[in-house]
Amino acid sequence: MAAVADQVAKAFREEWGQLVATLIRLTGDWEVAEECAQDAFALALQRWPQDGVPDKPGAWLTTTARNRAIDWLRREAVGAAKLREVAAMTDEAEPVGDDGGVPDDRLRLMFTCCHPALAMEVRVALTLRTLAGLSTAEIARAFLVTEPTMSKRLTRAKQKIMHAGIPYRVPPAHLLPERTPAVLAVLYLLFNEGYSATAGADLIRSGLSGEAIRLARLLVHLMPDEPEAGGLLALMLFHDARRDSRTTDDGELVTLEDQDRSRWDREQVAEGTVLLDATLQRGRPGPYQVQAAIAACHATAARAEDTDWVQIAGLYRQLARFQPTPVVALNQAVAIGMADGPEVGLRVLDDLATGPLAGYHLLPATRADFLRRLGRSAEAAQAYREAIQLASTDAERRFLRRRLEEVS
């Protein structure tokens, strides 16, 4: 019995997105598509324990969901041509459309969920519901809102898609340069939501990283010609490989420098490295590929002191061209300080102090770190105190206080 339930759960993870995506295309109705897919899994839970798990669970689920959709279309009295089209729905995945072929329905669904006419929080929720198959309750818990609030948000989004005529398609080539980053941004936000959740604090939240990696894998598979998709997946793999070493058992932050590198997931680092190398060879760099290259420098350094800071500083310079943001500039300053020495780093920080970073706790925290490395303890302590005042989370304040004690 337990084994069959596991089989249904496995089929759910593997087939849900495809099933919903195809049903949306065929019925044009998001609610009906979800209901038909849900019915198919409910029936599987009933039937499979008695009849045994079918040889091709995906085909069984597709047939079952399709029959539900046909029933619904009959009730809606749609034309015979549409019914024939739905009846022809098979479990065979459609070829990926980069040379005029038929695009995968899941890719249509991804682009539609991430349409820029939808608010970011709506895009994230829709992607989790329709592609990843999370329940409304799970998504609500992950984003700290009540279930009715999340339910309303999802319903409104589906209504807007239908009424405002947001097309269910992979955008044409001339729109891809502006639309693809929107999809990547949703997946990266999803990853970071999960990554910033501390271990054990909220399992559903930290599970979001896994969903983001799964969806990024799918995107890489569906858009083999988009190097930024590969860059994003590699970036996620490098970060995720360090997940368990970022905090102590009692939830205290551990800096990259002090992390136990033997706890990093080597297989994941290796996978990310192979993927990133292949992606960079295309010679079309972008912000995710550069960030992945930076993460790779850290992930492949055997000891903290082996880190290639000169290369990292160069990569941040490249990233600043794609993303000229203050935070990138601060990270670049850190890398320069590590590559060329803390005095040089302090001079770069001075240039940033009057800009938009004023009031950002990581600015005095970085200054404090450089001063500490130079042995200028009194000035370091003053900068740590300033950073503690500005820090926004307890974990950060506790970390900065520990550092303050070390220099006092």
Partner 1 sequence: MGQKRVEEEPVKYLLMICGDETAAEYADAGCDGWSEEMTARGVIQGGAGLQPPHEATTVRVRDDNLLLTDGPFAETKEQIGGFVLIDCADLDEAIEIAAKHPAAAYGTIEIRPLWQP
Q: Give the DSSP per-residue string, 204-259.
A: HHHHHHHHHHHHHHHHHHH-TT-HHHHHHHHHHHHHHHTGGGSB-TTS-B--GGGS
Question: Which helix or strand (DSSP H or E) is residue 74 part of?
Answer: helix 57-75
Looking at 156-164, 228-236, 284-292, 375-383, which segment touches partner 1 (CB under 8 A)?
156-164
Tell me how far apart the terminal alpha carbons of the chain are, to the nearest angstrom: 62
Binding mask 91-130 for partner 1 (x = CB under 8 A): ------------------------x-x-------------
For the bound state, the minimum distance from the C-beta of residue 89 to partner 1, rounded and expressed in Å, comes to 16
**117 vs 353, beta carbon nearer partner 1:** 117
**32 vs 330, beta carbon nearer partner 1:** 32
Cα–Cα–Cα angle for 328, 266, 214, nearest 5°? Answer: 70
Give the tokens for residue 379.
Answer: 């000035």
* Residue 152 engages partner 1 in binding (rule: CB under 8 A): no
* Residue 166 engages partner 1 in binding (rule: CB under 8 A): yes
* Residue 163 engages partner 1 in binding (rule: CB under 8 A): yes
- Which residue type does 390 have? L
**180 vs 279, beta carbon nearer partner 1:** 180
**136 vs 291, beta carbon nearer partner 1:** 136
**155 vs 393, beta carbon nearer partner 1:** 155
* Residue 60 engages partner 1 in binding (rule: CB under 8 A): no
* Residue 175 engages partner 1 in binding (rule: CB under 8 A): yes
* Residue 177 engages partner 1 in binding (rule: CB under 8 A): no
Q: Give the DSSP per-residue string, 310-362.
A: HHHHHHHHHHHHH---HHHHHHHHHHHHHHH-HHHHHHHHHHHTTTTTTT-TH
Looking at 154-162, 211-219, 230-238, 387-395, which segment touches partner 1 (CB under 8 A)?
154-162
Cα 123 to Cα 87, 169, 187, 279, distances in angstroms:
31, 15, 10, 27
Give the tokens for residue 190.
Answer: 């999803």
**175 vs 353, beta carbon nearer partner 1:** 175
* Residue 165 engages partner 1 in binding (rule: CB under 8 A): yes
For the bound state, the minimum distance from the C-beta of residue 360 to partner 1, rounded and expressed in Å, comes to 31
**34 vs 193, beta carbon nearer partner 1:** 34
Is there a contact between 357 and 330 (Cβ–Cβ < 8 Å)? yes
Dihedral over alpha carbons 308, 312, 314, 319 (to 10 degrees): 160
**29 vs 369, beta carbon nearer partner 1:** 29
**DSSP H helical ranges for 252-308:** 266-280, 287-299
* Residue 301 engages partner 1 in binding (rule: CB under 8 A): no
For the bound state, the minimum distance from the C-beta of residue 163 to partner 1, rounded and expressed in Å, comes to 5
* Residue 390 engages partner 1 in binding (rule: CB under 8 A): no
* Residue of 72, 168, 288, 399 interacting with partner 1 (CB under 8 A): 168
**49 vs 97, beta carbon nearer partner 1:** 97
- Which residue type does 244 have? D
**126 vs 213, beta carbon nearer partner 1:** 126
* Residue of 52, 167, 224, 356 interacting with partner 1 (CB under 8 A): 167
For the bound state, the minimum distance from the C-beta of residue 167 to partner 1, rounded and expressed in Å, comes to 4
Cα 84 to Cα 74, 88, 108, 284, distances in angstroms:
11, 6, 22, 43
**168 vs 195, beta carbon nearer partner 1:** 168
* Residue 164 engages partner 1 in binding (rule: CB under 8 A): yes
For the bound state, the minimum distance from the C-beta of residue 186 to partner 1, rounded and expressed in Å, comes to 18
Is there a contact between 74 and 83 (Cβ–Cβ < 8 Å)? yes
How far is residue 113's CA from residue 354's CA, in Å, rounded to a whole number? 40
Residues 6+ apart with CB under 8 A from 127: 110, 113, 114, 186, 187, 190, 215
Residues 6+ apart with CB under 8 A from 267: none
Q: How many chain residues are in contact with partner 1, going by CB under 8 A?
A: 17
For the bound state, the minimum distance from the C-beta of residue 81 to partner 1, rounded and expressed in Å, comes to 12
Residues 19-48 within binding reach of partner 1 (CB under 8 A): 28-29, 31
DSSP tag of 352 = H
Residues 6+ apart with CB under 8 A from 305: none
The contact set with partner 1 (CB under 8 A) reads 28-29, 31, 76, 115, 117, 158-159, 162-168, 171, 175
